[in-house]
């Protein structure tokens, strides 16, 4: 990455001398695992979705081909600072070996004298996967001592974990500050460059689509997007809080009561910014979340008592599809409903298909459940960029600090 938005410069992989050196690659292998290991009882079959592993392959292969000793480190899940077999990276290491077509060495910890010896015994081109970083509470505490112990494993540092770069954790923040030789991996470069285009020079008209459950999670990014977007389409449960702000009946739908006033202010600011915010005009409802029963479609934006909204309705799907026409760029984050439960996936699928069909120059999906929906529908080819980090992409768009990226341009620490 030659130039970082804002004028800073960050080294790329090509800038590093890696032959014969131990290269610590912070990857994002926080992938979903199944409960069963599969008929062969091997760990690799436990990985349900290898998208994030596949995203790191280009960086790992480049380093291997240049004679580096590759040490991959990641977190997985939320083990709360203690070892937990449920969150072991061993099945992920097996899957990585399968994808690379090589034997991958797995360490049963990520720090310690034994791990240091293993790192020094590596041969050029070998791949070494450390156990879950979050088995140690000091990872999330961004502890200097923990970062120093990680630094003893390597000569060079590479961050290819965009999905965790908004976290000030030891392996993405404190560790690179200790390293003289450090760079961005291919995936991190790709993520930053794609999102920087929306932040600094968005093609116009830009249409943003936001879904998911909470206004509180996305209020800041809505503020940031409304000054860049000509339209913002809002679906998912967060739409019900906005509708309540407009005095619509929302039945038993999920509403953040303490965010209704904020939602009203956002709608007012959007008018001042000349950004058109569109909300659902009808809904697909159920009797309850766990037992929705027969879906019913409302005739308008109001949801009757005893029902809760679980998806955008057919009129809203048509409205959103129509409002997308003519967009030069699209940014999408968050499903339009409870897409993991049929038939309440139809609104999310309709939006994905509408974006797929657009001839827009830039079509970015900002991670999370939206990505799962795109993959499930087989529509990946219709997007110019699909982010591996939902939370990270939103925080970058809203202008929040990105410690994992900033650390790549920091001076060497003590």
* CA geometry: angle 145, 150, 152, nearest 5 deg: 100
Which listed residue (214, 220, 254, 341) is catalytic?
214
The rounded percent of the chain whose pLDDT value lies above 90 is 77
Which listed residue (334, 368, 389, 404) is catalytic?
368
Residue with tokens 């992989």: 13
Residue with tokens 């199944």: 34
Whether 269 is a known active-site residue: answer no
Q: Is the pLDDT of residue 88 over 60?
A: yes
| Residues 6+ away with beta carbon under 8 Å from 200 | 5
What confidence score (pLDDT) does residue 39 get? Answer: 40
Measured in degrees and rounded to the nearest 5, phi and psi for residue 38 equal 100, 170
Q: What is the pTM of this model?
A: 0.88
Whether 204 is a known active-site residue: answer no
pLDDT in tens, 372-412: 888 888 888 999 999 888 889 999 998 888 999 999 985 44
CATH superfamily of 202-397: Phosphoglycerate kinase, N-terminal domain (3.40.50.1260)
Rg (the chain; Cα; Å): 23
What confidence score (pLDDT) does residue 49 get? Answer: 83
Task: Look at residues 65, 84, 179 and name the one whose alpha carbon lies nearest to residue 127.
Answer: 65
Could you give the residue ranges of the DSSP H alpha helices within 304-367?
Answer: 314-324, 346-357
Residue 43 CB neighbour total at 10 angstroms: 19
pLDDT in tens, 16-62: 999 999 999 999 999 988 875 544 445 445 898 888 999 999 999 99
| Residues 6+ away with beta carbon under 8 Å from 322 | none
Measured in degrees and rounded to the nearest 5, phi and psi for residue 341 equal -120, 115
What confidence score (pLDDT) does residue 358 get? Answer: 95
pLDDT in tens, 209-254: 999 888 988 899 999 999 999 999 999 999 999 999 999 999 999 9
Whether 271 is a known active-site residue: answer no
Residue intervals of the chain classified under CATH 3.40.50.1260 are 13-189, 202-397
Distances (CA, A) of 246 to 115, 141, 241, 297, 306: 59, 42, 9, 20, 20
Which listed residue (81, 125, 391, 413) is catalytic?
391
Whether 334 is a known active-site residue: answer no
Helices (H) and strands (E) in the chain, counts: 15, 15
Which listed residue (46, 52, 182, 218) is catalytic?
52
Q: Which CATH code, of 3.10.450.40, 3.40.50.10190, 3.30.70.270, 3.40.50.1260, is assigned to 13-189?
A: 3.40.50.1260
């Amino acid at each position: 990455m030659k130039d970082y938005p804002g004028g800073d410069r960050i080294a790329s992989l090509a800038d590093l001398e890696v032959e014969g050196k131990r290269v610590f690659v912070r990857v994002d292998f926080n992938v979903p695992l199944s409960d069963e290991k599969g008929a062969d009882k091997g760990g690799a079959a436990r990985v349900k979705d290898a998208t994030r592993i596949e995203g790191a392959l280009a960086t790992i292969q480049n380093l291997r081909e240049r004679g580096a000793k590759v040490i991959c480190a990641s977190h997985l899940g939320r083990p709360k600072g203690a070892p937990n077999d449920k969150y072991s990276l061993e099945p992920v290491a097996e899957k990585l070996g399968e994808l690379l077509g090589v034997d991958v060495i797995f360490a049963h910890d990520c720090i310690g004298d034994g791990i240091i010896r293993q790192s020094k015994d590596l041969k050029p081109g070998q791949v070494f996967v450390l156990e879950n970083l979050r088995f140690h509470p000091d990872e999330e505490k961004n502890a200097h001592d923990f970062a120093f112990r990680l630094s003893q494993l390597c000569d060079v540092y590479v961050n290819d974990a965009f999905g965790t770069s908004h976290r000030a954790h030891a392996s993405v923040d404190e560790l690179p500050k200790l390293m003289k030789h450090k760079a961005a991996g291919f995936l991190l470069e790709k993520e930053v460059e794609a999102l920087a285009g929306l932040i600094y020079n968005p093609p116009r008209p830009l249409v943003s689509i936001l879904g998911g459950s909470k206004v509180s999670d996305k209020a800041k990014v809505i503020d940031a997007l409304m000054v860049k977007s000509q339209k913002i389409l809002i679906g998912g449960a967060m739409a019900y809080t906005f509708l309540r702000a407009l005095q619509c009946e929302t039945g038993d739908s999920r509403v953040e009561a303490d965010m209704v006033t904020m939602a009203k202010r956002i709608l007012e600011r959007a008018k001042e910014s000349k950004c058109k915010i569109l909300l659902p005009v009808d809904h697909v409802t159920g009797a309850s979340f766990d037992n929705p029963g027969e879906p019913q479609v409302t005739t308008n934006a109001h949801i009757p008592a005893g029902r809760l909204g679980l998806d955008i309705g057919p009129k809203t799907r048509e409205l959103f599809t129509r409002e997308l026409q003519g967009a030069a760029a699209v940014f999408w984050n968050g499903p339009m409903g409870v897409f993991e439960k049929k038939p309440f996936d139809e609104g999310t699928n309709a939006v994905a298909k509408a974006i797929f069909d657009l001839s827009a120059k830039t079509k970015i999906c900002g991670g999370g459940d939206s990505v799962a929906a795109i993959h499930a529908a087989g529509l990946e080819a219709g997007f110019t960029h699909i982010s591996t980090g939902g939370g990270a992409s939103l925080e970058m768009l809203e202008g929040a600090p990105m410690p994992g990226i900033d650390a790549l341009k920091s001076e060497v620490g003590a």
